[in-house]
Structure 1
């Protein structure tokens, strides 16, 4: 009897590598950005990341072993990635109990309630982040801006991210010219000398990790390139129409969670489309929603919401953009 065909949930790895190896490649890719966050925020970044990772691993172990009574899968690396990405979406100095709550929502609600890795519809780390943002908006928008003697400044201010400064300033009648002195330079945002969450610290560090993932063929270039291009094109149009009321595209690309979301969460193998055409539609949708929220919504940042919204459309995208069946006939063109 021939070997049976085994049908399993995503991620579907088309190589000799296992999903576990893929997960640890993502961990390696995030190391440069993590080192920058340690430089900027000191030990607070280490505490935040450690609590998030330990909480995610612990909740996955406890829920699988004692509630679901299924095989424990904490060694596959997915809970580790969720913990790191959740930490990268949080401000340094966030109360420990909030980090633990966010980890519980990410693992218990967004991942295991759907059946675990391969069955979750939404990116778990983003679900945890958005839950905390909606539930505790004040604490989630208190951004420490510097580190003194390896201690995060306690009196962090709300809206200290570049996008937050721009959003608030424009609402009070300021122009981009007057705001230019208040926001970090493009070089500062590129290197990581700015305010925000752990994952907003260094665009160049995140880009290095993203390039590593593309070279290793962990992710495809389609989603990152199309998504960033969509954001750049849309924001360029508004900026060219009125440069005093809209930030230039470079600010939108380098600030906020654009790079982090583009390379590390929108490309999630489980919650992104299977085909190249589907990836293009998915990326364009995220880019459009992100820009609309940033320019016209209540929040200065929008990529987290955009990714989750498009995650919900992935089953529909996969339905209409299916890969060609093996052995199917291709109609020959008559010349």
Structure 2
């Protein structure tokens, strides 16, 4: 008999363990996260701490109630990564309870209800993000521009605590506004010309370096891109899904922008603003909720990118990343059914490959 219980798959028999994989993803997220925390100050730091603490707490409670061992699961980093990804998609000055409630939805509803790590059909962080957005639209759409730590007009620790407890109230509510994508939507609703407004609204260099309003995951496109390339270099993720997501956004954005630049924003805005890069490298690449074959992953990623663009451009929400992820998560079983990886020794249809020197008459015997 084994002294330790056998947990659900995946089982690691090599240096690439679950905890090492999660650790590398967290390491790749760290630079963009640190910049975001510095850019948005104490309210963001408190929200970050509350969300991650709640994710670990709810994971521990679920394990205790389910009679499962605490240490292996809590130490593998999956709950920490779920909370981390969730808070990267939240408004940085959202009240603390948004992060705690989101952690509950992600860990309990999005993950543990399905059986825990490796069993969930949908990305847990995106389940929480969508539920929060639909249930609390005001708190989930109050964005602020960068308010770096220790600057004169930035809230200190006591003011940051007040914002975290009570939400955006006077005088800090005057700093809130729409994200870049929200401003694009507002311009179109007012009948404005995007081609004329974009140069003042969106500066690619500022988006690369983290100088635009948005969530923690929309701070520095450059740091998110470098983090994603680091994961590809380390073999944690493959390049297929990120490239497919980016092309799924860029191709329709380029085509429609060429047709009518006054109505449709260019591809750079869609790639560098919003959660496109965070989605492409850190969320869509979740191995549990994405297809198995490379062709299936390409279809999956392209579908996410296309849905992101369509929801942003024609939908009711200025950001469509979370909805796109959940819709393609739901399509993953169908993609895996119709696009299967070729089994060694068999063709794409599953028939055995002919053996060298084997004749048709011998095979019929």
Return the TM-score normalized by structure 1: 0.92
| Corresponding residue of 2:338 | 320
- Taking the aligned partners of 1:190 and 1:59, their CA distance within structure 2 comes to 35
Post-superposition Cα deviations, 1:124-156, rounded to whole Å, max 9, x if no partner, equal 111111111111001100002131444278225
Contact 2:257 2:265 in 1 (8 A): yes
SS state of the match for residue 155, structure 1? helix
Note closer, same or farther for the CA distance 1:280–1:7 as it changes in structure 2 (3 Å cut).
farther
- Taking the aligned partners of 1:181 and 1:221, their CA distance within structure 2 comes to 31
- Taking the aligned partners of 2:59 and 2:233, their CA distance within structure 1 comes to 31
**Deviates further, 218-227 or 151-160:** 151-160
Tell me which of 290, 293, 310 is aligned to 1:292: 310
Tell me which of 275, 300, 303 is aligned to 2:293: 275
User: In the TM superposition, what is the alpha-carbon distance from 1:68 to its structure 2 partner?
Assistant: 1.7
Note closer, same or farther for the CA distance 1:7–1:136 as it changes in structure 2 (3 Å cut).
closer
Aligned pairs for 1:104-115 (under 5 A) are 104-115=104-115
**Deviates further, 44-53 or 14-23:** 14-23
User: In the TM superposition, what is the alpha-carbon distance from 1:16 to its structure 2 partner?
Assistant: 3.0
Post-superposition Cα deviations, 1:147-202, rounded to whole Å, max 9, x if no partner, equal 14442782256652111101111111110134225413011011110001110011
- Gaps of at least 5 residues in structure 2 are 1-5, 161-170, 347-351, 357-365
- Taking the aligned partners of 2:86 and 2:21, their CA distance within structure 1 comes to 18
Contact 1:111 1:120 in 2 (8 A): yes
SS state of the match for residue 180, structure 1? helix
Corresponding position: 1:28 with 2:46: no
Aligned pairs for 1:76-115 (under 5 A) are 76-115=76-115
- Taking the aligned partners of 1:24 and 1:221, their CA distance within structure 2 comes to 19
Asked which structure has the greater CA Rg, the reply is 2
Note closer, same or farther for the CA distance 1:332–1:160 as it changes in structure 2 (3 Å cut).
farther
- Gaps of at least 5 residues in structure 1 are 1-5
User: In the TM superposition, what is the alpha-carbon distance from 1:15 to its structure 2 partner?
Assistant: 5.0
Note closer, same or farther for the CA distance 1:314–1:15 as it changes in structure 2 (3 Å cut).
farther
Return the TM-score normalized by structure 2: 0.85
- Taking the aligned partners of 2:314 and 2:354, their CA distance within structure 1 comes to 47
- Taking the aligned partners of 1:316 and 1:156, their CA distance within structure 2 comes to 47
- Taking the aligned partners of 2:274 and 2:13, their CA distance within structure 1 comes to 33
Note closer, same or farther for the CA distance 1:156–1:205 as it changes in structure 2 (3 Å cut).
farther
Tell me which of 60, 66, 69 is aligned to 2:67: 69
Corresponding position: 1:191 with 2:170: no
| Corresponding residue of 1:3 | none
| Corresponding residue of 2:280 | 262
The number of aligned residues is 326
SS state of the match for residue 173, structure 2? coil
SS state of the match for residue 228, structure 1? helix
Aligned pairs for 1:1-335 (under 5 A) are 9-10=9-10, 16-65=15-64, 67-72=65-70, 73-147=73-147, 148-149=151-152, 150-151=154-155, 154-155=172-173, 160-180=178-198, 182-328=200-346, 329-330=352-353
User: In the TM superposition, what is the alpha-carbon distance from 1:30 to its structure 2 partner?
Assistant: 0.3
SS state of the match for residue 91, structure 2? coil
- Taking the aligned partners of 1:71 and 1:322, their CA distance within structure 2 comes to 35
- Taking the aligned partners of 2:107 and 2:131, their CA distance within structure 1 comes to 12
